[in-house]
A and B are shown apart, each in its own frame.
Chain A
Amino acid sequence: MTKNILKLLLLGAGLLACRQLQAKDYDVRDFGAVGDGIFLNSATIQRAIDFVHARGGGRLVFYPGAYVTGSIYLKSNVTLHIEQGATLLGSTNPWDYVKDPYVGWMAMIFAVKQENIGITGKGVINGRGFATANNMIKYIQKGLLDDPLRNDRPSETNRPENIHFRECSHVAISDVTLKDPASWNQTYDQCRDLLVERIRVDSKSYWNNDGIDIVDCDGVVVRESFFDAADDAICLKSHDANAVCQNVTVESCTARSSASALKFGTASRGGFRNIRVTGLTVYDTFRSAITFASVDGGQIENIVVDGVRAINTGNAIYLRLGNRNSGKAPSLKNVIIKNVYAEVPYTKPDAGYSYEGPVEDNPRNISPASIVGLPNMRVENITLENIEMVYPGRGDSLYAKVGLTAGELDGIPEMEKSYPEFSQFRELPAWGLYVRHADGIRLKNVSFRAQNEDYRPAVVLDDVNGATFTGVTFSEPNDGGKNQLFRYKSSNITIQ
Chain B
Amino acid sequence: MKKFIISILLIASALHLPAQTDYKASLFGCMSDGITLNTQSIQTAINTISSCGGGTLHFYVGRYLTGTIFLKDNVTIALHEGATLVGVPSIYDYAGPSDAPKGLIVADGQKNIGIVGSTPEREFNTNVVGNGIIQGQGALLVKNAEAQRAKGYLDETIEQAAPALISFAGCTGVKVTGLMLEGAAGAAVTFKRCKNVETARLLVDSRETPASSGVVADDCENLNVADNFIHVSGKAIRIARSKGVKTTNNKTPKGKL
B-binding residues in A (CB < 8 A): 130, 134, 137-138, 141, 149, 151-153, 206-207, 354-356, 358-360, 362-363, 396, 398-399, 413, 415, 418, 424, 426
Our count of residue pairs bridging A and B at CB distance below 8 angstroms stands at 75
Contact indicator per residue, chain B 56-68, by CB within 8 Å of chain A (1) or not (0): 0011111100000
Beyond A359-B133, A362-B203, A396-B253, whether A130 also contacts B33 by CB under 8 A is: yes
Complex contacts, B2 vs chain A, CB 8 Å: none
Complex contacts, A399 vs chain B, CB 8 Å: 203, 229, 231, 251, 253
A151–B131 CA distance with the chains assembled, in angstroms:
14
A152–B136 CA distance with the chains assembled, in angstroms:
23
Most chain A CB atoms below 10 A, which of B58, B62, B180: B62
In the complex, which of the residues A141, A354, A358 contacts B26, with contact meaning CB atoms closer than 8 Å? A141
Contact B130 A149 (CB under 8 A): no
Complex contacts, B231 vs chain A, CB 8 Å: 399
Beyond A359-B82, A360-B82, whether A149 also contacts B123 by CB under 8 A is: no
Beyond A360-B81, A363-B229, whether A355 also contacts B34 by CB under 8 A is: yes
A-binding residues in B (CB < 8 A): 24-27, 29, 31-35, 58-63, 80-84, 120, 122-124, 129-131, 133, 180, 203, 229, 231, 251-253, 255
Contact B32 A362 (CB under 8 A): no
In the complex, which of the residues A152, A359, A362, A426 contacts B24, with contact meaning CB atoms closer than 8 Å? A152
Complex contacts, A137 vs chain B, CB 8 Å: 26
Contact A363 B130 (CB under 8 A): yes
A-B CB contact pairs (8 Å), 19 listed: A141-B26, A141-B27, A149-B26, A151-B60, A152-B25, A152-B58, A206-B33, A207-B32, A207-B61, A354-B33, A354-B34, A355-B62, A358-B81, A358-B83, A359-B82, A359-B133, A396-B253, A399-B229, A399-B251
Contact A360 B120 (CB under 8 A): yes
Complex contacts, A426 vs chain B, CB 8 Å: 124
Complex contacts, B253 vs chain A, CB 8 Å: 396, 398-399
Contact B63 A151 (CB under 8 A): no
In the complex, which of the residues B34, B63, B122, B203 contacts A363, with contact meaning CB atoms closer than 8 Å? B203
Contact A398 B255 (CB under 8 A): yes
In the complex, which of the residues A138, A354, A362 contacts B130, with contact meaning CB atoms closer than 8 Å? A362
A362–B131 CA distance with the chains assembled, in angstroms:
7
Least CB distance, A360 to chain B, in whole angstroms: 5
Leading 8 A-B pairs by shortest Cβ distance: A358-B82, A152-B60, A362-B130, A151-B60, A358-B61, A152-B26, A152-B24, A360-B81
Least CB distance, A328 to chain B, in whole angstroms: 22
A153–B31 CA distance with the chains assembled, in angstroms:
10
A207–B63 CA distance with the chains assembled, in angstroms:
11
Least CB distance, A366 to chain B, in whole angstroms: 14
A396–B124 CA distance with the chains assembled, in angstroms:
21
CB-nearest residue of chain A relative to B61?
A: A358
Most chain A CB atoms below 10 A, which of B26, B34, B62, B120: B26
Complex contacts, B82 vs chain A, CB 8 Å: 358-360
Contact B84 A359 (CB under 8 A): yes
Contact A359 B35 (CB under 8 A): no
Contact B35 A362 (CB under 8 A): no
Complex contacts, A138 vs chain B, CB 8 Å: 29
A180–B27 CA distance with the chains assembled, in angstroms:
23
Beyond A141-B27, A398-B229, A398-B255, whether A359 also contacts B180 by CB under 8 A is: yes
CB-nearest residue of chain A relative to B58?
A: A152
A152–B129 CA distance with the chains assembled, in angstroms:
22
Complex contacts, A134 vs chain B, CB 8 Å: 31
Contact B81 A356 (CB under 8 A): no
A206–B36 CA distance with the chains assembled, in angstroms:
13
Least CB distance, B132 to chain A, in whole angstroms: 9
Given A363-B130, A398-B252, A413-B123, 20 additional A-B pairs, CB 8 A: A134-B31, A141-B26, A149-B24, A149-B26, A151-B61, A153-B26, A207-B61, A207-B62, A356-B34, A356-B63, A358-B81, A358-B83, A359-B133, A359-B180, A360-B81, A362-B203, A398-B229, A399-B251, A399-B253, A424-B122
